[in-house]
Amino acid sequence: MADFDKLVVGFLVDEVVGGFFISVPPGHVACVYDRGYGVLKKVWGPGLHLKIPFWQIAKLFNAQILEYTIRHGFDINNKEALGDEPILTTTKDNKSISIEGSILFRIDKANAPELWENIGDNFVSKVVRPYSRSRISHVLSETNSKDIPHTRSQIEELLKNELNQLFSDKGIIVEGVLLSEVKILENHPENEHIVFAQPAAH
């Protein structure tokens, strides 16, 4: 849990202290709130940058690719945790299924100021989780259960494209969607079976 919390803290915005300077580490960008002009449109990359102390407040964004994991047993009590529980939906042929997988995404560096200004710190709970739940559920509901194993790559690509359309004006870019397991659910657990599952890494 400690490693996960560290990742979340790095992913969310953190105030940079240091008076006259903004120190931006590799893999991050900084945005600045100016008390006179609001959130400035300029984005600061890695390095040391000047700012006006007290009048300007800097925020750091992790600009690296991050993994949002959808899996059984994921704890969503932390609303900004990078993940979710398995997504439940019904396929086109009326089969109840649970879906697990990963979404790889990063912030759009150029639009980081808009992300901070329009959505704020809580963009996992406000954007990533509800939009990913909705799109994954919708796309799988349009597919017959027997076709899922054979069209997995097309489903992943479709999800990536649809999520990118939804995120395009929100400062988030989806690099990929990876389905790891789709399970058909039955009234009796012993009758449940996995449509496909990602082989375990060795």
Average pLDDT over residues 26-45: 92
Has residue 8 got a pLDDT over 50?
no
Has residue 10 got a pLDDT over 50?
no
Which domains does the chain carry? 2-62 (no CATH), 66-197 (3.30.479.30)
User: How confident is the model over 75-130, as pLDDT tens digits?
Assistant: 989 888 899 999 999 999 999 999 999 999 999 999 999 988 888 878 899 999 99
Q: Cα–Cα distance between 135 and 143 in angstroms, integer?
A: 13
Has residue 9 got a pLDDT over 50?
no
Strands 83-84 and 66-70: parallel
Helix, coil or strand: residue 29: strand
Average pLDDT over residues 25-54: 91
Handedness of CA 22, 46, 164, 13 (dihedral sign): negative
Cα 180–189–100 angle (5° rounding)? 15
Residues 6+ apart with CB under 8 A from 195: 97, 145, 148, 149, 182, 183, 184
pTM over 0.85, yes/no: no
User: How buried is 10 (Cβ within 10 angstroms: 0-12 exposed, 13-18 middle, 19+ buried)?
Assistant: middle
Residue 191 has a pLDDT of 55
Has residue 17 got a pLDDT over 80?
no
Q: Cα–Cα distance between 69 and 89 in angstroms, integer?
A: 18
pLDDT band at 5, cuts 50/70/90? very low
Q: Are 53 and 47 in contact (CB under 8 A)?
A: no
Residue 193 has a pLDDT of 59
Choose among 53, 142, 148: nearest CA to 91.
Answer: 142
Helix, coil or strand: residue 197: strand
Average pLDDT over residues 9-29: 67
Residues in the chain, total:
202
User: How confident is the model over 123-162, as pLDDT tens digits?
Assistant: 899 999 999 999 999 999 999 999 999 999 999 999 999 9
Residue 133 has a pLDDT of 96
